[in-house]
Chains A and B, each alone.
Chain A
Amino acid sequence: MNKFFGNKPAIFIFAFPSLLLFTVFVVYPIFPEILISFQKNDGFKSMGYVGFKNYADVLQDKTFWRANLNTFIIVFFSTFIALPISLLFALVMDRLSDPMKRFFKFSSVFPAVLSVTVIAQMWIAVYEPMWGLLNSILRALRLNNLALAWLSDSRTVVPAIAVAFLWQYLGLNALLFYTGIKAIPKTYYEAAMIDGAGFFKASIKITIPLLQDVTKYLLVLSILGCMSQFAHVRIMTGGGPGDISRTVVYQLYYVAFSTSDFGRGCAIAIIFVIECLILTFIINKFVAQERIEF
């Protein structure tokens, strides 16, 4: 069996279907996209090459930079707020009784399998300024000053979208952390208990360091997922008010499809690809370089 999987043609045969799909639908489209990014193009026909003009226009566009900032705000929420919460959930889940574990596992997966439209509509209702759940609670607590138009206020709209997006995957991430925790040998904890370590010490000294691989996987998944954030923005605010809540991918979509400027849209796409490659490189460089084996 080992000989079979060590055989390069066998590896290639197994990898071929996904490699083919990846090549056709991911790698191949990048080439015409690069070409279009140097053209004045309305999506139907090219009106000639314009050199780096599209790139210069994009880089001078304030909306593009705001879209980048919004995207990185969502990435920040994901990395520094949502992932630690997911880890905390996983640690707590590990300590629960079996029926509670089953309940939490179901609850964790449930939001992730719901349609984005359902999630976004639900959060629109939560944030509704006049009768929404959030403002109703705030008013009931006599915190009227905090009852805002969450999706129409430039200060709150991006974090509000980020919360809706991250809520959807909070449980799923917790579940992945939990499976990582289950893979850690119990003997480590037993030894730690004998040495007098409690829940927090064991978590910090054993669980979190040994979850490096899962953390790296979730970081890449979560950061790239946030980077390509589109659907929640489209449904919840349409990038508005104005262009305040646009993410990079939404800006790309707006420029290409709404203003019919596919040349500039493709330039945004290529810059976005470069941004994602840099981020992936940084994660690979600095997080969990060495594989941990138990």
Chain B
Amino acid sequence: MRKFWKTMLIVIVFSLLVSLVACAPASNNTTPANSNVSTGGDEQEQKPAEKVRIKFLSLSSDENRNNIREKYIKVNVSKEFPNVEVEYDLGGGGQDYANKLKAYNASGDMPDVWFSEQNLSTVVISAGNALDLYPYVIETGFDKKFKMKELVQPDKDGKLYCVQPGADQYFTPRLWYHKDIFEQYNLETPKTFDELVSLCETIKSKGLVPISIVGKDGWTPNLHMVQTMIMAEDPQVAIDLANNKTDFSNPVVKNALARIQKLVQIGAFADGVTNIDYGPAIEMYTSGKAAMLAMFSWELGNLETASPDTDFIPWPSASESVDPNNVIQYWGAPLSGYLASANTKYPEIAAKFAMFCAEQDALYYNIEQKAPTMLDTGIKIEGVSPLMQKNLDQFDAAKIKVPSIWAATFNAKMSAEFATENSKLLTGKYSPDDYIKAINPVWAENFN
């Protein structure tokens, strides 16, 4: 009997050891030596005899990302990579996508290629799970296709972890509106925040939602509205925040938060706004239930198609010294784009697929949205719609261009806590003081 128990004990201990090994992070098999581009010596990797399978994780909650994947990447991949089979992993959007990517990152078993924003990219890079793409970028001449060379320059450590289409640098938050609704009710477009407030009250009295926003996880305030409201009063404070020269207790920031709270309290957003996701927010505008939409210009093409009466106004200012036409916030950050896994079995294929995705991304914006990109696809953009031209003209004319603080500076923790605080702010019952008290300690750690 004792022998039996001993045998059983050994079996259990052995099983635990096996599970321990199985649960251990995947080893990084991409040494600096084999991360370099092969120059013919490694024929097997360059031209695999059998189809190799790679996994690609992409956002799947917004139409642009879905169109890029379905109409461009999927359609053209077989021509460019005949020996590659791509498994598409749809990661949703917002916090769902962030958490999925973080779970992959924690396991060390990353998809071969994925799309991510700056704050997620930094998490993956610090864990050593991102592949240095620089050798592949140089080898393929991908860097020569960029109008803005900074986008393909290596980081301080001499490595380039992300390739991007360069469309982001043209994206800016706009306040879109239905011209028909404004004409029907004889409404004037607002130039100041106070005019915006009274406009919202008028629209609400007509039974319409004044401004549609993505409230779930505080998306709209996270990505631009807090910064927009700061810039409406003093753009320099936004620049200082981006450079860690001030914090959230700055009076301009407090006023900005109070303005968002005011909009919530007067009913400028839909009932239950904290639970409205990206798709429903867009639909609320395109279906005419909302008179205005707070959204980035990456939706311009889709909005024009779904609601031809769409126009936009720059965000109204909250100070006489700020000209709304002169100040603009732009999206885009060095680490927002396509990354490849450092642990991929096929580093060269993954790197080339990441560059391919960036090109398809740029093609989508050039062809479908008639939007320019920093990556030169060779497509001459013709037939630009008047609305797109107006958007580009206003973008170019603005003298003060401030990068997105969220995209360019937030780490994962700051991003998560900022989302929590913004979601609370959208209840209308959360004071700017409480917001600042909660966010400042996290902000203090953000640049460490």
CB contacts (< 8 Å) of B103 on chain A: these are 257
Closest to B103 in A: A257
Contact of A257 among B99, B218, B272 (CB under 8 A): B99
CB contacts (< 8 Å) of B421 on chain A: these are 242
CB contacts (< 8 Å) of A259 on chain B: these are 412-413, 416-417
Contact indicator B216/A238 (Cβ below 8 Å): yes
Contact indicator A149/B272 (Cβ below 8 Å): yes
CB contacts (< 8 Å) of B128 on chain A: these are 44
Closest to B426 in A: A241
Q: CA–CA, A44 to B423, complex, Å?
A: 29
Closest to B419 in A: A258
* Chain A min CB distance to B30 (Å): 17
Segment of B12-20, B249-257, B365-373 in the binding face: B12-20
Residue B76 at the A interface, CB < 8 A?
A: no
Fill in one digit per residue for A68-101: 1 if any B CB lies within 8 Å of its CB, else 0. 0000000000000000000000000000000000
Interface centre among A12, A44, A149 (most CB of B within 10 A): A44
CB contacts (< 8 Å) of B95 on chain A: these are 238, 258
* Chain A min CB distance to B390 (Å): 32
- Give 7 CB contacts A-B under 8 Å: A9-B1, A12-B4, A129-B270, A130-B271, A236-B275, A237-B274, A241-B275
Residue B407 at the A interface, CB < 8 A?
A: no
Q: CA–CA, A47 to B313, complex, Å?
A: 49
CB contacts (< 8 Å) of A260 on chain B: these are 102, 123, 412-413
Residue B217 at the A interface, CB < 8 A?
A: yes
Given contacts A124-B275, A257-B99, A258-B98, 10 further A-B contacts (CB under 8 A): A43-B106, A130-B271, A151-B272, A240-B217, A240-B423, A241-B275, A242-B421, A258-B102, A259-B412, A259-B416
Contact indicator B416/A152 (Cβ below 8 Å): no
Residue B377 at the A interface, CB < 8 A?
A: no
Contact indicator A152/B127 (Cβ below 8 Å): no
Q: CA–CA, A238 to B215, complex, Å?
A: 11
* Chain A min CB distance to B109 (Å): 13
CB contacts (< 8 Å) of A189 on chain B: these are none
Closest to B18 in A: A24
Residue B424 at the A interface, CB < 8 A?
A: yes
Interface centre among B16, B103, B412, B423 (most CB of A within 10 A): B423
Contact indicator A240/B216 (Cβ below 8 Å): yes
Residue A28 at the B interface, CB < 8 A?
A: yes
* Chain B min CB distance to A17 (Å): 11
State the 4 A-B residue pairs at the shortest beta-carbon distance, nearest first: A242-B424, A149-B272, A241-B274, A258-B416
Contact of A24 among B15, B99, B215, B427 (CB under 8 A): B15
Contact indicator A24/B274 (Cβ below 8 Å): no
Closest to B20 in A: A28
Residue B8 at the A interface, CB < 8 A?
A: yes
Residue A154 at the B interface, CB < 8 A?
A: yes
Residue A107 at the B interface, CB < 8 A?
A: no
Residue A23 at the B interface, CB < 8 A?
A: yes
Contact indicator A28/B19 (Cβ below 8 Å): yes
For A, the interface residue count at a CB cutoff of 8 angstroms equals 35
CB contacts (< 8 Å) of B273 on chain A: these are 152
Chain B interface (Cβ within 8 Å of chain A)? 1, 4, 8, 11-12, 15-16, 19-20, 95, 98-99, 102-103, 105-106, 123, 126-128, 215-218, 270-275, 289, 412-413, 416-417, 420-421, 423-424, 426-427, 429-430
Contact of A258 among B99, B215, B430 (CB under 8 A): B99
* Chain A min CB distance to B130 (Å): 13
* Chain A min CB distance to B428 (Å): 10
Contact indicator A237/B420 (Cβ below 8 Å): no
Contact of B15 among A20, A128, A240, A254 (CB under 8 A): A20
CB contacts (< 8 Å) of A128 on chain B: these are 272
CB contacts (< 8 Å) of B98 on chain A: these are 258
Closest to B124 in A: A44
Closest to A254 in B: B416
Residues of A221-257 contacting chain B, CB below 8 A: 236-238, 240-244, 253-254, 257
* Chain B min CB distance to A205 (Å): 47
Contact indicator B8/A242 (Cβ below 8 Å): no
* Chain A min CB distance to B3 (Å): 11
Q: CA–CA, A23 to B9, complex, Å?
A: 12
CB contacts (< 8 Å) of A236 on chain B: these are 275
* Chain B min CB distance to A153 (Å): 8
Q: CA–CA, A237 to B217, complex, Å?
A: 9
Contact indicator A242/B15 (Cβ below 8 Å): no
Residues of A2-50 contacting chain B, CB below 8 A: 8-9, 12, 16, 19-20, 23-24, 28, 43-44
CB contacts (< 8 Å) of A129 on chain B: these are 270-272
CB contacts (< 8 Å) of B12 on chain A: these are 19-20, 23
Closest to A235 in B: B96
Closest to A19 in B: B12
* Chain A min CB distance to B5 (Å): 8
Q: CA–CA, A20 to B14, complex, Å?
A: 11
Q: CA–CA, A232 to B120, complex, Å?
A: 25
* Chain A min CB distance to B406 (Å): 15
Contact indicator B413/A23 (Cβ below 8 Å): no
* Chain B min CB distance to A7 (Å): 11
* Chain B min CB distance to A240 (Å): 5
Q: CA–CA, A6 to B367, complex, Å?
A: 76
* Chain A min CB distance to B119 (Å): 11
Contact indicator B275/A240 (Cβ below 8 Å): yes
Q: CA–CA, A110 to B217, complex, Å?
A: 32
Contact of A130 among B4, B99, B270 (CB under 8 A): B270
Known: A12-B8, A44-B106. A237 touches B16 (CB 8 A): no
Q: CA–CA, A8 to B126, complex, Å?
A: 52
Contact indicator B271/A241 (Cβ below 8 Å): no
Q: CA–CA, A87 to B416, complex, Å?
A: 42
* Chain B min CB distance to A122 (Å): 15
CB contacts (< 8 Å) of B99 on chain A: these are 253, 257-258
